[in-house]
Amino acid sequence: MLVDRKDTLMVYRQLFEDGVFTTIDDVHATYVLGKDENGEDITVSNLKVIKLLQSLWSRGYVKKTYSWCHFYYTLTDSGLQYLREFLHLPNDIVPNTYKRVNPTLPREDRPRFRRDGERRPYGRDGERRGFRNNRSGFRDQPKEQPAEQPKEL
């Protein structure tokens, strides 16, 4: 399928930037790649996106997974080298999925103990619930006897 050079470059840049690409299995849909300088959506036909990524998949540059009417493409190492050459990028630029993210704030774990040193209760009343919340306790209660009716004279 013939695809414009401009559309090819936009899809390949997006794939290289993220390292992954997700499309819906609908050839009549349009794929929104982002916004331009004026705030307008940059759209490409979903058929073109699917065919471009299918071409990369057949050459072994991406891995394809299909689930729930969506295609999930993941960039491989050979695909990374190919896109670097195709987009004329230096070797020090890597996709976002290859970057290690360092958290800025330390992760606060869920406190296991209360401030006074006691363990957290399991449920609302502190009892541990059984499998599927065993509710047999209500069966042990004696049934209320109906109130006696006054006898008529």
pLDDT at 128 over 90: no
d(CA 65, CA 25): 12
Q: Domain 8-90, what architecture?
A: Orthogonal Bundle (1.10)
pLDDT at 147 over 80: no
Strands (E), the chain: 20-24, 30-35, 41-45, 62-67, 70-75
pLDDT at 65 over 90: yes
What pLDDT is recorded for position 33? 84
**DSSP secondary structure code for residue 119 in this structure:** B
8 confidence band (pLDDT: 50, 70, 90): very high
What pLDDT is recorded for position 28? 87
Tens digits of residue pLDDT in 49-61: 999 999 999 999 9
d(CA 86, CA 12): 9
Supply the mean pLDDT for the chain: 79
What pLDDT is recorded for position 78? 93
pLDDT at 111 over 70: no
What pLDDT is recorded for position 113? 54
Return the structure tokens found at 1: 């399928």
pLDDT at 74 over 60: yes
Kindly list the domain boundaries of the chain, sorted by start residue. 8-90
Q: Which of 32, 29, 65 is nearest to 47 (CA)?
A: 29
Nearby residues of 76 by Cβ (< 8 Å), 6 or more positions away: 60, 61, 62, 63
